Amino acid sequence: MRYLHTMVRVRDLDASLRFYCEGLGLTEMYRVENEKGRFTLVFLAAPDDVELARERKGPMVELTFNWDPEDYQGGRNFGHLAYRVDDIYETCQRLMDMGVTINRPPRDGHMAFVRSPDNISVELLQDGALPSAEPWASMPNIGAW
């Protein structure tokens, strides 16, 4: 058995691609436009998974954009996506500079949570250990993750 991808439905493909690609640093691997089904699928890979994803063997996130408007409500049956990052402080700062709320700041230098434009919870985990640092150590939680 091999893990292939996680699919999340998105309302605004451009906003979602900005979040996942510019904010989180994922790479668009390929996309499928289906006129008959009226949807677009975009497959994204994390930097360390790009080589495997090129062969369609690596884990990816599939963004599904249905061309006809739909109202998606988050369910408790979907928890979160998780990505290991090289520098959690730099990643959170880049996201904040883009206007993303850091719901659970990386107070411990290890873990943070943010939400995508479609309210998907994304966990960021530090690769290795970073010491606790300000302003992150004093930041309160905002909302839910």
* Long-range contacts of residues 112-118, Cβ cutoff 8 Å, at least 24 apart: 112/88, 113/80, 113/145, 114/145, 115/143, 115/145, 116/8, 116/10, 116/16, 116/19, 116/20, 117/10, 117/11, 117/12, 117/15, 117/16, 117/19, 118/8, 118/9, 118/10, 118/11, 118/12, 118/16, 118/72
* Annotation marks residue 123 as catalytic: yes
Separation between Cα atoms, residue 126 and residue 132, nearest integer Å: 12
Annotated catalytic residues are 123
